[in-house]
Chain A
Amino acid sequence: MDFFYLLIQLVSAIVVAPLFDGISRKLRAKFQSRVGPSIFQTYLDLLKLLKRGRTKSHSTSYIYQISPYLLFVSAAAMFCALPIVYGAHSAFLSQFSDILVLLYLGALFRFIFIVAGIDTANPYAGVSASREGTLGFYTEEVAVICLVVVMMGAGSTNLSFITTLIQEGHYGYAIPSFSVAATAFLWVMYVETGRKPYDLAEAEQELQEGVLGEYCGKDLAIIDVAILLKQFTMLGFFLVIFIPWRFDNPMLSLITFLAEVGFLYVMGVFIDNFGPRFTINNGIKRTMLFALSIASTSLALYIMGI
């Protein structure tokens, strides 16, 4: 039964994610004084991609062929690691919902992304792969510092356990280190969604969509869904730890979760739509230092036992 719910969790995210993307596109258009696409545009785009033919460069190897699926699998597995429809009571599944599993599945996603980028031999895909790795280097430490505070504070790496703990009020915002970590973590998760100003790896103007540039047709559609899922997971990761709303009814908690994530995703437009993209060398470093210092503060608070 839990497995069935898990499947519903995954499929409903896949089905709903493009809608929120569509809404955010619509909202973005409104900010730009124009009508913009319909909110179902992302569905139409994906469906169209499925029907399109494909071309590829002669340099590609098996990695090119399997990477869309691998990317999807890692993103989907990450999403499954979020304990939404199941919780600590489901002893079997909750084993899977582990912060480290989530982090390392994210790393797997990154690994495949980089390798896929290099495989196409396209200069932009290569630079994009390089940026993806560099970005990972910048974000990982901030994310981990925040998570360390949470993991150690809660005494477990198990997400569903932590969620339950926080929900039941044994651990949470009353502890300063936790609340300070929340702010830095939100930053990291936003960066991980790869939206402006942090969309360096797929930057359209600079890199012509980077790694995605060499994919087309259904491959691209799968990668697009994978990226959407990853964005959802990242925002969900934040929500699950820092704003856990869970109900006994799995479907109810799934619906509230999707609504929450969707809301955050759409609100991202306020950051995403205004101002330019950062450069990898300075912009990111500077904002990272800011987030890093917040995260370090929370860590220092934790170490001092506050």
Chain B
Amino acid sequence: MKTYQVPQEIQDANTLEQKLELLKHIGRSFSVFRIDCGSCNGCEIEIFAAITPLWDPERFGFKLVANPRHADILLCTGPVTRQMYYPLLRAYEATPDPKIVVALGACGVSGGIFYDAYSVLSGIDKIIPVDAYIPGCPPHPASIIYGLTTALGVMEQKLQKVSFEHDGDLPPLVEDSVLGNTLFERDLLVQAKKLMSYVFGRKLFDKYISALTQSGNTKDAKATKISITEAMRVEDDPRYAECMGILHNEIYTQYVSCEEEDKIELHRVKWGAK
């Protein structure tokens, strides 16, 4: 698809040397013009959040300007929708040379989730040359501050391309099961995730397994009940406590033969109330 060709005049005035020269001048005072090329607004709001008292980039001489003619840095967000293509170019041309273009957010960097839809052009760098990329969806205000300071050379870039090419011998990936059947762990983890999501579910899983191993004999339903109940009692967080009980009642009982009384009674106790 035919897109914008940067005119020779602008290209000549935007060589790398000139940009580095510019960075020297704007190190302590830089004006930023925001261009929203059809982003979802999230990045804009985070830019707004970044200029608030908590972050205050004015410390470094940051200034949000209303007009591209005053700008040193163009902060572009969004996947460049078809409609924003023309305004983007107008703003780009209206900005004095040399200029720094920063692509912000997943969409700005590469089109993000919209990268192949019919009415986006997927990323600022498909249209105009981009000098710095700040990924994030949307980027955290700290991330924006970091990105801008990095672009200006105040901070060092942390990310480098990482490539693992040597596929060596594998360590054993599967740990031994506490009950001698990995299906137990599998079901346990699935249930834990269902109860408390993947983030906390894994923690719950760990807590449960460690409580289970505390009991000495993991296959003894009575012993495990005691150790799980104890673990639930000392647990600060009522949610974890309750969920450990649920796990025990629902999964453990399937793998170890249990009586009804071996289940933990959950509704009688207010957990984590201490």
Contacts and interface: CB of A to CB of B under 8 A. Distances in A.
A217 interface: yes
Contact of A208 (B25, B29, B67, B97): B67
B61 A33 contact: no
Count class of interface residues, chain A: 20 to 34
Given A36-B59, A45-B61, A53 B13 contact: yes
Contacts of A220: 69-70
Interface string A41-78: 10011011001111100000000000000000000000
Nearest to B30: A48
Contact of B94 (A33, A55, A217): A55
Contacts of A215: 69
Nearest to A55: B96
Contact of A55 (B58, B61, B65, B93): B93
Nearest to A120: B69
A179 to B, nearest CB: 40
Given A48-B26, A48-B29, A213-B66, A37 B93 contact: no
B69 A45 contact: no
B95 interface: yes
A37 B58 contact: yes
**Of residues B26, B53, B66, B72, which shows the largest number of chain A Cβ atoms within 10 Å of its Cβ?**
B66
Nearest to A214: B69
Nearest to B71: A216
A207 to B, nearest CB: 8
Interface in A186-211: 204-205, 208-209
A34 B54 CA distance: 7
* Residue from A25, A204, A205 whose CB has the most chain B CB atoms within 10 Å: A204
A55 B54 CA distance: 35
B67 A213 contact: yes
Contacts of A217: 96
A208 B13 contact: no
Interface of B: 13, 22, 25-26, 28-30, 52-54, 56, 58-59, 61, 63, 65-67, 69-70, 72, 93-98
Interface of A: 25, 29, 32-37, 41, 44-45, 47-48, 51-55, 204-205, 208-209, 212-217, 220
Closest 10 CB pairs of A and B: A208-B66, A34-B53, A34-B56, A44-B29, A53-B96, A216-B69, A213-B67, A53-B97, A33-B53, A51-B25
17 contacts: A25-B58, A36-B56, A36-B58, A41-B61, A45-B29, A47-B29, A55-B93, A55-B94, A55-B95, A55-B96, A204-B66, A209-B65, A209-B66, A216-B96, A217-B96, A220-B69, A220-B70
Given A212-B70, A220-B70, 7 more contacts: A29-B58, A36-B58, A37-B59, A47-B25, A55-B93, A208-B66, A220-B69
